[in-house]
Amino acid sequence: MHIHILGICGTFMGGLAAIAREAGHRVTGCDANVYPPMSDQLRSLGIELIEGYTSDQLMLKPDLFVIGNVVTRGNPLIEAILDAGVPYTSGPQWLSDHALQGRHVLAVAGTHGKTTTTSMLAWILHCAGLEPGFLIGGVPQNFGISARSGGSSCFVIEADEYDTAFFDKRSKFVHYRPRTAILNNLELDHADIFPDLAAIETQFHHLVRTVPSKGRLIVNAREESLARVLERGCWSEVQRFGARKEEPGTLRARGEPDAFDVLRGSLKIARVEWSLLGEHNQLNALAAIAAAEHVGVAPDSAAAALARFENVRRRLELRGEAGGVKVYDDFAHHPTAMHTTIAGLRRKIDQESTRPGAPQTRILAVFEPRSNTMKLGSMKALLPWALEEADLSFCLQGNYGWDAAAALAPLGAQAIVADSVDKLVAAIVKASRSGDHVLVMSNGGFGGIHGRLLDALGVRP
């Protein structure tokens, strides 16, 4: 089959392309911007890429056009496809029909932690010899790739609640029909397509409805929103995790995020010792351990695999050090994710600062309100809380329709706003000192700010 993928350079569609190519299909694709690293990865697989969405791509005459949700009505190629009456489908539907049928799908849903938890789960199953297929919205450092078909019945997928395509406004995850589904957490997000939290809860319940009675839901015990989802109806076994106190059958952690016992009720069933930071990653680990157990991986074996887990690129990733200042890159873009990421780094710094002679260190949080939700200003009131554990905060003011300086006013002189990346870099370099940790948070490239910072810090007097 020859498929032509619209929006091929997105992480999901690029992963789908890799899986299709691995399965022997001829794959071509197009995107508005074709650039590395995804363009290099796809071309290395023998996938022909076209820049733009020109209507003459109909002349490729593929068997099927596979359309990503980035493409909307009015797009010239979409209009040509509709006018010609040729076959088309969405990315999630193609994946369901051609890659997931007959397999034990393990889906990871949630507002936060999907990519990391999916990567953990895939790594655990890999270490157990199960050779899982996977499609992840990032690049796990253990694998170095975001997707593969795999050699077993298991397939691990990051299950996004964002809509499917211009013609299918259901969440992507309703197409995956998992037998094991992690419901990691649930908050208001994607304010561009969901009017409120209740609308997202409805989509999550659609996912719950697709899990068979012999399937298993892995549910965060701390989330009231998820409890409301299950109250609408649940027909599958439920394994809860993350309770703050002992509950029969529920998995919970005892200890620090980097070294903790895994308890089922009061019984210790495993111990995790690893390099990851933050209570959020501790919860992600519990979810992954619980899901892996559903396909026969013992918790102690899962914990041993997590000891060798190297995280995902752009998750508190140290990009370099210059002038005594460490610069990190993180994908956090929702206020809750920003808060937990800063808290994890703060906890690590505080632990290290207890050593005799350790220098006083600060966190300089740098963020770009780039997601559709943040651009709308729906969560601007939460920004002071999101940044409260940082010593200084720096924000890029874009054409958002709201004033970042006003939103950050409760932080007083601890918050600095600039209207360009160059000005932001200059302000950070001026304010920083040796021993500082600069934490850059964005779901985009942020104008290459990481490299610019390291260059500027390296020549600072």
* Residue-level pLDDT at 357: 58
- Residue at 160 is within a domain: yes
**Domain match, 280 and 151 both:** yes
The count of other CB atoms within 10 Å of the CB of residue 261 is 15
Give me the domain span that covers residue 338.
317-458
* Residue-level pLDDT at 350: 76
Range with the poorest average pLDDT among 158-162, 318-322, 356-360: 356-360
- Of 306, 340, 355, the position where a domain reaches its end is 306
* Residue-level pLDDT at 369: 84
- Residue at 312 is within a domain: no
**Domain match, 323 and 292 both:** no
Average pLDDT, whole number, for the chain? 90
Cis peptide before 212 (omega within 30 of 0): no
Q: Are the CB atoms for 211 and 218 separated by under 8 Å?
A: no
- Residue at 52 is within a domain: yes
**Domain match, 241 and 321 both:** no
**Domain match, 295 and 324 both:** no
Residue 196 sits in a domain of what CATH number? 3.40.1190.10
**Selection from 382, 359, 360, 358 nearest residue 369 by Cα:** 382
- Residue at 170 is within a domain: yes
Q: What is the pLDDT of residues 130-174, one digit of tens each?
A: 999 999 988 888 998 889 999 899 999 999 998 999 999 999 999
Residue 432 sits in a domain of what CATH number? 3.90.190.20
Q: Is the pLDDT of residue 356 over 70?
A: no
Rounded to 5 degrees, φ, ψ at 366 are -125, 125
More confident residue, 277 or 231: 231
**Domain match, 322 and 286 both:** no
Mean pLDDT for the stretch of residues 325-351: 83
* Residue-level pLDDT at 340: 82
Is pTM beyond 0.85? Reply is: no
The count of other CB atoms within 10 Å of the CB of residue 402 is 14
Give one DSSP letter per residue of 26-73, joined into a string. Answer: EEEEEES---TTHHHHHHHTT-EEEES--GGGGGG--SEEEE-TT--T
Give one DSSP letter per residue of 428-456, joined into a string. Answer: HHHH--TT-EEEEE-SS-GGGHHHHHHHH
- Number of domains, the chain: 3
- Of 265, 284, 306, the position where a domain reaches its end is 306
Mean pLDDT for the stretch of residues 202-229: 96
**Domain match, 83 and 130 both:** no
Query: How far is the C-alpha of 263 from the C-alpha of 270, rounded, in Å?
Result: 7
Mean pLDDT for the stretch of residues 224-243: 96
Q: What is the pLDDT of residues 427-448, one digit of tens each?
A: 999 999 988 999 998 877 788 8
**Domain match, 159 and 188 both:** yes
More confident residue, 358 or 30: 30
Q: Is the dihedral of CA 343, 364, 416, 372 positive or negative?
A: negative
**Domain match, 77 and 172 both:** no
* Residue-level pLDDT at 456: 87
* Residue-level pLDDT at 204: 96
Residue 16 sits in a domain of what CATH number? 3.40.50.720
Query: How far is the C-alpha of 364 from the C-alpha of 390, rounded, in Å?
Result: 6
Q: Is the pLDDT of residue 116 over 70?
A: yes
- Residue at 63 is within a domain: yes
**Domain match, 138 and 177 both:** yes
Q: Is the pLDDT of residue 317 over 90?
A: no
* Residue-level pLDDT at 23: 92
**Selection from 426, 374, 423, 432 nearest residue 400 by Cα:** 374
Q: Is the pLDDT of residue 312 over 80?
A: no
**Domain match, 336 and 283 both:** no
Confidence of residue 461 (pLDDT cuts 50, 70, 90): low
**Domain match, 208 and 118 both:** yes
**Domain match, 155 and 256 both:** yes
Query: How far is the C-alpha of 343 from the C-alpha of 2, rounded, in Å?
Result: 48
* Residue-level pLDDT at 170: 93
* Residue-level pLDDT at 353: 65
CA distances from residue 265 to 9, 150, 246, 255, 284 in whole angstroms, order as listed: 45, 34, 5, 15, 18
Tally of residues, the chain = 461
* Residue-level pLDDT at 343: 85
- Residue at 130 is within a domain: yes
Q: Is the pLDDT of residue 24 over 90?
A: yes
* Residue-level pLDDT at 355: 58
CA distances from residue 40 to 2, 247, 375 in whole angstroms, order as listed: 20, 49, 30
- Residue at 97 is within a domain: no
- Residue at 280 is within a domain: yes
Confidence of residue 375 (pLDDT cuts 50, 70, 90): confident
- Of 306, 328, 354, the position where a domain reaches its end is 306
